[in-house]
Amino acid sequence: MQKTIALDAMGGDHGPKVVVPAGLQVLRKYSDLNLIFVGRKEIISPLLQQTGADVSHRWQIHHAADEVGMDESPGLALRQKKDSSMRVAINLVKAQEAQACVSAGNTGALVATSRFVLKTLPGIDRPAIIARFPTLSREKEVRILDLGANVDSSAEHLCQFAVMGSVFAQAVDNIPNPRVGLLNIGEESIKGNEQVKQTAELLINNKSLNYIGFIEGNTLFEGKADVVVCDGFIGNISLKVTEGVAHLIAHYARRAFSQNWLTKLAVLPALPVLARLKKQVDPQRRNGAILLGLTGIVVKSHGRAGILGLASAIEEAILEIDKNIPRLIEQGLEKR
Amino acid sequence: MQKTIALDAMGGDHGPKVVVPAGLQVLRKYSDLNLIFVGRKEIISPLLQQTGADVSHRWQIHHAADEVGMDESPGLALRQKKDSSMRVAINLVKAQEAQACVSAGNTGALVATSRFVLKTLPGIDRPAIIARFPTLSREKEVRILDLGANVDSSAEHLCQFAVMGSVFAQAVDNIPNPRVGLLNIGEESIKGNEQVKQTAELLINNKSLNYIGFIEGNTLFEGKADVVVCDGFIGNISLKVTEGVAHLIAHYARRAFSQNWLTKLAVLPALPVLARLKKQVDPQRRNGAILLGLTGIVVKSHGRAGILGLASAIEEAILEIDKNIPRLIEQGLEKR
């Protein structure tokens, strides 16, 4: 099946300098893929000039004069940036000229614009951001949602997120009967805030879900659950705390080894192992958070992603197209 | 000044086997310290039998027949465990027979019982749990509160936490004009949930505080703020995510180095540096979260703490007594 993905070429901290080479890299890997680079033609075009003839018939440039800034208000972007690369890329999905869109741009603007242009699926009030994280168990990953598409979600919203996460784990990652947990500050049923207590009640009574109860922050990465549901405020803070801690530990390790010539020498034989380790835990290697609950496919890359990271986000979009995830979520909701 | 601390000898995962030796270790270090071991005499007494004569006149056992289980409901513990080691230790602070109490027991029960017995200070509606964390900056720590004494706190509660955290940083840790931040999902003022937006408004208008704005999860450990305020639900999840990520990284590192004999060999020269690094980031070394906002001093040790960790929690209680932190918070509130 031929597929087409629209890339927000101007999005992210690096813009076309990263998006264009990442796109070409993925184009060479998938012969049934077409890409539309959306953004300022005068900037994108020179970057594409040296493309080999092997893929040059499978990409095109779609000019968009404007850009959404990384710190811009989502509301303003939605109202005033109607010709931004992000908006036009999403419009292409709406117009069915592309089956998915990938952007490394402003998360808030991407959520607001996608929701406005593509609309949520019937039965879904709000989209949610989902991503995968490694666990202690070698083969298992944990999917967490919502990572920040919304704040102040109701119990009913969180229950919709649980259904979407479960369908995602089953359909995209081939996990039969995914174990769904709810993020909380304890495992006992008496603990938690009002939002969590109300959500737990809905989840227990939802027969379409394999709900396994509460998951605490420290057991999030133990592989006990395949899907963990939380409010977008909590999810986003947890995601960023994860980043912060990893950074802090790396910093301490560097400091310990660079203390004197003896400690510097001590690390030398370990360097190849450390390089491999870094690769394993590098978030770039599994970059690409997915907006679930919309009528079309939107993948969000980390704003700081490099070529490898952006290529991985594009590959995530290919996977979503192959599985037709919006249709599967719609079916999953009907079964409730 | 002579001081007396009541220890919940039965609390925590290890109970008296850890609390007694930790107490004796600290007794030997501080000649003006007296300890009251609270709990079952028949268990504590044999553990104290070999104590040297040098400190034997500075400890006593206060019998308490009951114990609070680590998973017990705080409400039930409060109503039904009136002769628990935890309750009796807090009672001793109330009766001014001790100036502080230290417990490694059930956090929820400790908060509920302390609040019931000791009451909050005038102007404080709820106590909060505060603890220190390392940052990228060698000399600076960040204090985070509330780490889980309450959930569903109002903006006014969070503002009270900010004042308490600021007084704590200034009085206990000698930081002049502490920089206070509010944990949020972005640094711009348009971001956040309702709770955070309302709190920000109160903090901006509070002239007694050096409020510096929002802090994100990934910058929590960068040393930008001396005190970071958040709801207890968010704080507890962040705390535990921190634990979970550190554990995950250690696990990955161990796996990378134990893959084959070559990688095992590679780590050998680095072992002494790694041991020192582990010591530096070991939460045991700075164990002891403090319940702020009560009329007395209550220090919570991690439930899994060993002798070193528990000793550090007792030393934290000594520091709080020396600074007379409840009185200072009362004064800080009057200045608002």
CB-closest option in A108, A251, A265 to B136? A251
Q: Is residue A269 one of the residues assigned to a domain?
A: no
Give the number of A-B residue pairs with CB atoms closer than 8 Å.
182
Residue B30 pLDDT greater than 70, yes or no: yes
In a domain, B72, yes or no: yes
B137 and B245, same domain (yes or no):
yes
Q: B76 and chain A: CB distance < 8 Å anywhere?
A: no
- Is B138's pLDDT higher than 90? no
A245-255 pLDDT, tens digit per residue, is: 888 888 888 88
Cα distances (Å, whole numbers) of residue A306 to A9, A289, B113: 13, 15, 52
Asked if B192 and B249 sit in the same domain, the reply is yes
Its domain, for residue A233, covers: 126-257
- A185 close to A191: Cβ distance less than 8 angstroms: yes
Chain A nearest CA to B145, separation (Å): 15
Residues A1 and A117 in one domain: yes
Task: Read off the pLDDT of each residue in B38-56 and give the average, rounded to a whole number.
Answer: 89
pLDDT at A153 over 90: yes
- A32 and A12 within one domain: yes
CB-CB contact of B253 with A221 (8 Å) = no
A48-107: pLDDT as tens digits: 987 777 888 999 999 999 999 988 888 888 999 999 999 999 999 999 999 999 999 999
Using the beta-carbon criterion (under 8 Å), do A191 and B108 form an inter-chain contact? Answer: yes
Q: Tell me the pLDDT of chain A averaged across its residues.
A: 91
Nearest Cα residue to A188 out of A200, A199, A180: A200
User: Which range, of A169-183, A186-200, A257-271, A312-326, averages the lowest pLDDT?
Assistant: A257-271
Same domain, A112 and A176: no
Closest to A185 (Cβ–Cβ): which among B193, B237, B280? B237
Residues B293, B222 within the same domain: no
Residues A78 and A194 in one domain: no
Evaluate if residue A266 carries a pLDDT over 80. Answer: no
Evaluate whether residue A280 is within a structural domain: no
Share of chain B above pLDDT 70, in %: 96
pLDDT at B105: 94
B279 touches chain A (CB under 8 A): no
Q: Which of residues A198, A231, A257 is at a domain's end?
A: A257
Please count the structural domains in chain A: 2
pLDDT band of residue A261 (cuts 50, 70, 90) is confident
Do A113 and A172 share a domain, yes or no? no
pTM score, whole prediction:
0.90
Both A65 and A167 in a single domain? Answer: no
Which residues make beta-bridge pairs with B180? B211, B227
Mean pLDDT of chain B: 90
B191 to chain A: which residues are within 8 Å by CB? Answer: 108
Interatomic CA distance for residues A211 and A205, integer angstroms: 9
Domain final residue, candidates B257, B275, B300: B257
Contact yes or no for B238 and A241 at CB 8 A: yes
Q: A230 pLDDT exceeds 80? A: yes
Nearest-Cα distance to chain B for A46, in Å, is: 35
| pLDDT tier for residue A336 given thresholds of 50, 70 and 90 | low
Task: Report the distance separating Cα A250 and Cα B277, nearest Å.
Answer: 11
Percent of chain B exceeding pLDDT 90 equals: 69
Domain of B33: which CATH number? 3.40.718.10
Per CB-CB distance under 8 Å, the chain B contacts of A197 are none
Host H or E run for residue A179: strand A179-183
In this complex, do B263 and A269 lie within 8 Å of one another by their Cβ atoms? no
Whether residue A271 is contained in a domain is answered as: no
pLDDT tens-digit series, residues A95-114:
999 999 999 999 999 999 99
My answer on whether B150 and B200 are in the same domain is yes
Evaluate if residue B229 carries a pLDDT over 80. Answer: yes
Q: What is the CA radius of gyration of chain A?
A: 21
**A165 falls within a domain:** yes
Q: Same domain for B18 and B77? A: yes
Q: Is the ipTM of this complex over 0.95?
A: no
Confidence band, pLDDT 50/70/90 cuts, at residue A1: confident
